[in-house]
Chain A
Amino acid sequence: KNEVEQSPQNLTAQEGEFITINCSYSVGISALHWLQQHPGGGIVSLFMLSSGKKKHGRLIATINIQEKHSSLHITASHPRDSAVYICAVGRSGTYKYIFGTGTRLKVLA
């Protein structure tokens, strides 16, 4: 079983829709990252969370440490949001991050 699970694996939405991507993990963590990977392959860090909620523009990320679950929400989605969204957790007591397999989002105009 993967230590980091994301759902859904693929998501197609219409422009303007509210989108939620989920991440569950089974290990103790020090922090959780949400990352965005565009078709060219480059990775951009969207959020780092260790508790609570963060908001940046149309993106909102939440984490529930007790339930070992995080969500990434995109409000008023736009075709330029089309990308792979990756959840990565920093495992407690180590220097490395463990990555989920990603959620491939396509937003249609």
Chain B
Amino acid sequence: EPEVTQTPSHQVTQMGQEVILRCVPISNHLYFYWYRQILGQKVEFLVSFYNNEISEKSEIFDDQFSVERPDGSNFTLKIRSTKLEDSAMYFCASRTEGYGYTFGSGTRLTVV
């Protein structure tokens, strides 16, 4: 069964450093998403991406965040200058028409 692949599974970074979280969505999917889950809290929407542009973003997704689909297969989330409160599990998801989501297994980001 096709999968959404996320790398790395766990990343530890120093506060203030830039991090890039990587996702390979399912190849024929058209809609891409990043969500995050702070430990013990519910999953929160960050951003959706369609047709090579952001289609919707949440208030969490400020200027420190950016997304890119650099080569038609990868879908990346960049955090420019990480803060302690960015520590969370970050999930990538993709879907086709009809809203059938497939989630990646997540990247646990720890900012120290």
Contacts and interface: CB of A to CB of B under 8 A. Distances in A.
Contacts of A33: 101
Nearest to A30: B99
A86 B33 contact: no
Contact of A95 (B41, B43, B48): B48
Given A42-B105, A48-B101, A94-B56, A86 B43 contact: yes
Contacts of B101: 33, 45, 48, 97
Interface in B44-58: 44-45, 48, 50, 55-56, 58
B18 to A, nearest CB: 23
Nearest to B44: A99
Contacts of A45: 100-103
Instruction: Bin chain A's interface residue count.
Output: 20 to 34
Which applies to chain A's interface (DSSP): helix, strand, loop or mixed?
A: strand
B48 A41 contact: no
B106 interface: yes
B42 A100 contact: yes
B102 A41 contact: no
B42 A99 contact: yes
A43 interface: yes
B75 interface: no
A96 B99 contact: no
Contact of B45 (A41, A44, A96, A100): A96
B89 interface: yes
Contacts of B108: 41
B45 A97 contact: yes
A31 interface: yes
A98 interface: yes
A48 B100 contact: yes
Interface of A: 30-31, 33, 35, 40-45, 48, 50, 86, 88, 90, 94-102
Q: What 5 A-B pairs are tightest by C-beta distance, nearest first?
A: A95-B48, A42-B105, A99-B43, A96-B45, A31-B99
